[in-house]
Structure 1
Amino acid sequence: MIDTTIDVINKLGLHARASGKLIEVTTKFSASIQIGKGDKLVDAKNIMSLLMLGAGKGITLRLVIDGADEDKALEEIQMLFAAKFYEAE
């Protein structure tokens, strides 16, 4: 199990388009992937749950991944956040 944090660095935060891109990544993996603030974690494969987080720029989110492909899932999620969800700034 991986329990780490990730920073939201894109200008608009985890808005609809960014959440959609995150869903594209998370649904590729069989591992359980949860994201949230502190103890309030939501399913990172559910777009409504992601949108309800209200995660704006500058927020640090907790990321909990558990499963056979957890390392690869973490790598791809970190790449997506680091690339600012491939949005023009």
Structure 2
Amino acid sequence: MIKKPVTIKLRDGLDARPIALLVQEASQYSSHVYIEVADKKVNAKSIMGMMSLSMGEGDEFTVVADGEDEEAAVAGVERFLSEQK
């Protein structure tokens, strides 16, 4: 299992379109991928779960991945959220 803190650098934060793209990114990996914010842990492959989070530019959370491609999963999610768009 890998845990990595990440800061959102998307200018408009996570609204519907970026969340859909993030779910697509997370779904590419066989590992279980979660987003932890405060006391909440959400499956990053669930669009409904991700929509329940309200995160904007500069917000911090932890990406958690567990499985055979966990390193690639964390790197992919971090790369997606770190790109300035």
**What TM-score does the superposition give when structure 1 sets the normalisation length?**
0.87
**Deviation of the 1:35 alpha carbon:** 0.1
Identity score, percent: 29
Determine the structure 2 residue equivalent to 1:4: 4
What is the CA–CA distance in structure 1 between the aligned matches of 2:40 and 2:17, rounded to whole Å?
Answer: 22
CA distance in 2, matches of 1:46, 1:31: 14
Please state if 1:35 is matched with 2:32.
no
Letter in 2 for 1:66: D
AA matched with 2:43:
D
Equivalence map 1:1-89=2 (5 Å):
1-84=1-84, 87=85
Instruction: Give the secondary structure class of the aligned counterpart of 2:4.
Output: strand
- Size of the aligned set, in residue pairs, is 85
**Deviation per residue, 1:47-88 (Å, 9 max, x gap):** 11111110111110111110000011111112111213xx3x
Q: Distance between the aligned counterparts of 1:64 and 1:74, measured in 2? A: 7
Q: Which amino acid aligns with 1:67?
A: G
Q: Which runs of 5+ in 2 are unaligned?
A: none
Moved over 4 A (4+): none
1:14, distance to aligned residue in structure 2 (A)? 1.1
With the length of structure 2 as denominator, give the TM-score of the two structures: 0.91
Q: CA RMSD in A?
A: 1.1
